[in-house]
Amino acid sequence: MKGCYQKYLPEHDIYLYNIGEAQKAYEFFGCHYIPELKMHRFCVWAPNARSVSVVGDFNGWDAEKTPMEFYKNGVWAAFVPELHDGDNYKYFVYGYDGSKVMKADPFAFHAEVRPQTASKVWGIGGYEWHDASYLKRRMKRNVLKDAVSIYEMHIGSWRIKEGCRFPGFREVADELADYVSGMGYTHVEIMPVAEHPYDGSWGYQVTGFYAVTSRYGTPQDFMYFVDKLHSRGIGVIMDWVPGHFPKDEHGLSKFDGTHLYEHENVLQREHPQWGTLIFNYGRPEVISFLVSNAMFFMDCYHIDGLRVDAVTSILYLDYARDGYFVPNEDGGNIDNHAVEMLRRMNSVVLTNYAGTMTIAEESTAYPMITKPPYDGGLGFTFKWNMGFMHDTLAYMRMDHYFRQFEHNKMSFSMYYAFSENYILAYSHDEVVHGKKSMVDKMFGDYWQKFASLRALYSFMFAHPGKKLMFMGDEFAQFIEWDYKKQLDWFLLEYDSHAGMQRFVKDLNHVYTENPALYEVDDSWDGFKWLNVEDRAQSVFAFIRTNGEEFVVCAVNFTPVVRENYWIAMPREGMLERLLCSDETRYGGSGVVPEKKIETRRQALNGMEHSAVLTLPPLGAVYYKFTLKSKGDGEK
């Protein structure tokens, strides 16, 4: 490399990348404009390539015209004049194995709209952010004690615009910000928006890890999307996919003619279920690539959280392998290198961006997912509670009569509720592939299905753990989600669906306005069963508290009205109704219990007091509980 250019190739950044310690590798690798030179610098890691060239619109895609020079430690570089944002390019890689392949830039910020696959010259700056006050407030938050109600969505199918074009980030943001804030959600979680070739992967098979998909616009358009939601106080969580990548020729697969990003060993290289390649977490440069990628979205796009996809597949060497796998150095089935990658990612992200969160989608009993790395944990902020989801949905599919024999499906989650910091998630995975929509999963006739779903949501929002539901669940979309078309918004013309939407809106507001429902999600100090053994009537009642305020929740999971139903109470006081899922404006039958109820000095379930109320059919009620006198008794 000529001496005049060498100072624009900082050796320290390359060194950090090579030892797995880089946190912002995107500031060096990829395509960057160098104002002093009036040139664009291209840098790519391809240590085993025989040669690399930059090809694109600017040179007629001729591999002979713009060769890159091998700088050091596996890095190739070139400086090219007279390029502009929007110019298409790739790397022409003459691989170690003799292959000659045009590869997209692993660090490109923008790309062509599929099915085209070229990277684009694109500056990541130029957007004027307006969320400084939001970010300042975020730094002071403790998300573990905050209300968190997440609206999970797929941008391409939320609302589709005229014709067949994809909706744009900007137009979606304008509508979405009004909608989710009005509905009372605190966060939006977007399914992956990194560049991907196949719509049907929903974004979970990524080829451009640093490029926001051009389907919906430019990087600056995505910045506007995040900024707009921040302006309404809505946090943005993004699904992040460090577990695998597809075999598409222009992607990371055999990038320099060797298995560079993926494992060389065939038993470790591929996910049998998905036909995708697994990152080699034992390679330092791969760690730098992934950790920097997580940091990139927090840094450049002001993202508030990362939901890490398929953590189970990352952790287990024998995942979906029918016993054929390469064990770790101790003979076990845990990928220790992957464990260290996740710990490092969580530590780097959460220490650099106070008030943000990382979330693990992990479905096993792997210990200490949400404990800090210094205590032997993985360091995630939250974990999806897959057990709660499976048990509650299995229960709600049952005939009402048989629920009495599976009563513990609704209470079992409390045996482990505080072992991790949980999010209770009814996600997109539960409304696809023949699983039916949320409302259609419910047992019973048409009316009973809607009543049951309102009861289930009531149980979920009062249960310890943060909340997540997928788009369409809030108005009871009746068919499964289809990524090729928009939600059935026309259903809101019907009372049952409009009523469900009103109910979810009110439920969100009751949840976010009552700290007793969310401030103590991690211990028994915030939860107490009142009635938990009433199998015969399929009723559950419990109290939530933050030590100062109290909310009682009672749910009847049968279609029978329970009149004069006794609920144990820990203290003497007054109950004042906050919410009833059976109100007619929600589509209910109108069985609404008393507005105010005084406790009685009648012992029940080991407590000295109790209250009598009417429970609606397949319904739930929330009451705010005010102590008659404050004392040192049980709360």
* Mean pLDDT across 63-89: 96
Q: Is the pLDDT of residue 191 over 50?
A: yes
Nearest 5°: CA angle at 455, between 450 and 456? 95
Q: Is the pLDDT of residue 307 over 70?
A: yes
pLDDT score, position 166: 85
CA distances from 624 to 7, 61, 553 (A): 66, 69, 9
Instruction: With cut-offs at 50, 70 and 90, classify the pLDDT of residue 2.
Output: low
Contact (Cβ atoms closer than 8 angstroms) between residue 570 and residue 635: yes
Instruction: Give the integer Cα–Cα distance in Å for 23 and 46.
Output: 19
Instruction: Give the integer Cα–Cα distance in Å for 596 and 598.
Output: 7
Residue 352 DSSP one-character state: H
- Reported residue count of the chain is 635
- 27 carries an active-site annotation: no
116: Cβ–Cβ under 8 A, 6 or more apart, which residues?
A: none
Return the residue matching tokens 């929330």. 622
Residues of the chain with pLDDT > 90, as a percent, come to 94
Percent helix, strand, coil in the chain, to 5, is 30, 25, 45
pLDDT tens figures, 212-249:
999 999 999 999 999 999 999 999 999 999 999 999 99
pLDDT tens figures, 442-456:
999 999 999 999 999
- 270 carries an active-site annotation: no
* Mean pLDDT across 260-281: 94
pLDDT tens figures, 455-464:
999 999 999 9
pLDDT score, position 634: 45
Instruction: Give the integer Cα–Cα distance in Å for 503 and 455.
Output: 10
Q: Is the pLDDT of residue 414 over 80?
A: yes
CATH topology of domain 524-627: Immunoglobulin-like (2.60.40)
Q: Is the pLDDT of residue 632 over 90?
A: no
Region for 591 from its dihedrals, namely left if φ exceeds 0, alpha if ψ lies in -120 to 50, beta otherwise = beta
Q: Are strands 276-277 and 270-271 parallel, antiparallel or unpaired?
A: antiparallel
* Mean pLDDT across 558-566: 97
Helices 284-301 and 336-352: angle between axes, nearest 10 degrees: 30
> Which position has the higher pLDDT, 438 or 631?
438
Contact (Cβ atoms closer than 8 angstroms) between residue 208 and residue 116: no
Instruction: Give the integer Cα–Cα distance in Å for 506 and 50.
Output: 63
pLDDT score, position 431: 97
Homologous superfamily (CATH) of 3-120 is Immunoglobulins (2.60.40.10)
- Give the bridge partners for 120, in sequence order: 88
* Dihedral, CA of residue 338, residue 344, residue 346 and residue 350, to nearest 10: -170
Instruction: With cut-offs at 50, 70 and 90, classify the pLDDT of residue 633.
Output: very low
Architecture of domain 149-517: Alpha-Beta Barrel (3.20)
Instruction: Give the integer Cα–Cα distance in Å for 62 and 72.
Output: 25
Residue 119: closest CA among 185, 31, 58, 188: 31
Q: Is the pLDDT of residue 635 over 60?
A: no
pLDDT tens figures, 114-138:
999 999 999 999 999 999 999 999 9
CA distances from 125 to 54, 333, 544, 556 (A): 23, 44, 46, 54
pLDDT score, position 630: 55
What is the token pair recorded at 624?
Answer: 């705010």
pLDDT score, position 521: 97
Contact (Cβ atoms closer than 8 angstroms) between residue 174 and residue 228: yes
Residue 145 DSSP one-character state: G
Instruction: With cut-offs at 50, 70 and 90, classify the pLDDT of residue 111.
Output: very high
Catalytic residue among 13, 227, 309, 420: 309
pLDDT score, position 189: 98
Q: Is the pLDDT of residue 322 over 90?
A: no
* Mean pLDDT across 152-172: 87
What is the token pair recorded at 111?
Answer: 């790309």
Q: Classify burial at 248, counting beta carbons within 10 Å of its beta carbon; exposed 0-12, middle 13-18, buried 19 or more.
A: middle
For the chain, where do the domains classified as CATH 2.60.40.1180 start and end?
524-627
- Containing H/E element for 264? none
- Give the bridge partners for 189, in sequence order: 152, 237
pLDDT score, position 324: 87
pLDDT score, position 164: 61
Q: Is the dihedral of CA 100, 206, 77, 62 positive or negative?
A: positive
CB atoms within 10 A of CB 101: 17
Q: What is the CA radius of gyration of the chain?
A: 27
For the chain, where do the domains classified as CATH 3.20.20.80 start and end?
149-517
Average pLDDT of the residues of the chain? 95
pLDDT score, position 161: 72
Helix, strand or coil, per DSSP, at residue 14? helix
Q: Buried b vs exposed e over 400-409: b needs ≥16 C-beta within 10 Å?
A: beebeeebeb
Instruction: Give the integer Cα–Cα distance in Å for 94 and 257.
Output: 8
Instruction: Give the integer Cα–Cα distance in Å for 206 and 239.
Output: 11
pLDDT score, position 163: 63
Contact (Cβ atoms closer than 8 angstroms) between residue 150 and residue 185: yes
Contact (Cβ atoms closer than 8 angstroms) between residue 205 and residue 259: no
pLDDT score, position 323: 83
For the chain, where do the domains classified as CATH 2.60.40.10 start and end?
3-120
Contact (Cβ atoms closer than 8 angstroms) between residue 341 and residue 294: no
* Mean pLDDT across 564-590: 97
Helix, strand or coil, per DSSP, at residue 172? helix
Instruction: With cut-offs at 50, 70 and 90, classify the pLDDT of residue 56.
Output: very high
Q: Are strands 357-360 and 382-384 parallel, antiparallel or unpaired?
A: parallel
Residue 500: closest CA among 488, 492, 508, 511: 492
Catalytic residue among 361, 473, 521, 522: 361
Residue 212: closest CA among 328, 287, 122: 122
Q: Is the pLDDT of residue 574 over 70?
A: yes
pTM of the model: 0.95
